[in-house]
């Protein structure tokens, strides 16, 4: 990873930029590599830089007073994080941890804000991403407030399945296989509960575990299972 090229060509957020503009950002960026489980952003720090994931995978998390992990999001190469602190000048809202060896490029908040001012397409992209975060957060808050643990697991699996859906086949293939502890952290339950729910879904022929993926065999039935409880 140390010998990787300092290029932001594979960051979708920056696609509207010309080659020259992107090159200028690359030259101003700070390029850093992180090992698996190493902290990239500590919620307690005053940093306000914006980060682009060039290689690897990261997780956005917080921890309760008791040390319980609450997971908000994960992103692969191409992802962007840290925008909130850059935009409003407030402290970080979460920690970001490398899930595997990861390389990021960071830019200062001033550079980021000026980039948005000079390129309206990028500003719209940020607004759309923040709107998506609000929608997902609202849905999860409703789930936590109204659904039992088993139903919250159903809802989280459906949320991931929709991102990998084959609509024509009414199936979805989630790869890599979701880790039980990761699902548990996102829906505030235990790994044991997640394991029981997945076992029950397998017995109902709704899911199937393959070597490197969790396959949803009937996406519509899973949607009905979740929506029926929400409607109730």
Arithmetic mean of pLDDT over the chain: 90
Q: What is the pLDDT of residues 155-188, one digit of tens each?
A: 999 988 988 899 889 999 998 888 898 898 888 8
Q: Where do you find CATH 2.60.120.10 in the chain? A: 12-141
Q: For the ranges 46-50, 149-153, 224-228, which has the lowest average pLDDT? A: 224-228
Q: What is the pLDDT of residues 18-30, one digit of tens each?
A: 999 999 999 999 9
Q: Is the distance from CB of 191 to CB of 181 less than 8 angstroms?
A: yes
- Looking at domain 12-141, its CATH class is mainly beta
Question: What is the pTM for the complete model shown?
Answer: 0.74
Q: Where do you find CATH 1.10.10.10 in the chain? A: 148-231
pLDDT at residue number 178: 86
- Joined together, the tokens standing for residue 231 give 């409607």
- Looking at domain 148-231, its CATH class is mainly alpha
């Amino acid at each position: 990873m140390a010998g990787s090229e300092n290029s932001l060509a594979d960051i979708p957020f920056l696609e509207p930029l010309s080659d020259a503009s992107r090159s200028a950002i690359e030259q101003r960026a700070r390029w850093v590599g992180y090992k698996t489980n190493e902290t990239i952003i500590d919620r307690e720090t005053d940093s306000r830089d914006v980060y682009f994931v060039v290689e690897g995978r990261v997780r956005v998390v917080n921890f309760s007073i008791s040390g319980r992990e609450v997971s908000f999001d994960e992103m692969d190469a191409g992802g962007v994080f840290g925008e909130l602190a850059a935009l409003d000048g407030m402290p970080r809202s979460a920690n970001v941890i490398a899930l595997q060896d990861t390389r990021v490029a960071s830019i200062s908040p001033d550079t980021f804000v000026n980039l948005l001012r000079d390129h309206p397409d990028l500003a719209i992209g940020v607004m759309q991403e923040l709107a998506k975060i609000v929608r997902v957060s609202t849905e999860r808050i409703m789930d936590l407030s109204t659904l039992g643990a088993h139903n919250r697991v159903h809802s989280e699996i459906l949320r991931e399945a929709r991102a990998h859906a084959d609509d024509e086949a009414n199936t979805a293939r989630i790869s890599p296989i979701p880790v039980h502890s990761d699902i548990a952290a996102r829906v505030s339950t235990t790994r044991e509960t997640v394991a029981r729910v997945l076992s029950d879904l397998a017995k109902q022929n709704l899911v199937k575990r393959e070597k490197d993926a969790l396959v949803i065999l009937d996406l519509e039935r899973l949607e009905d299972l979740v929506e029926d409880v929400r409607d109730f």
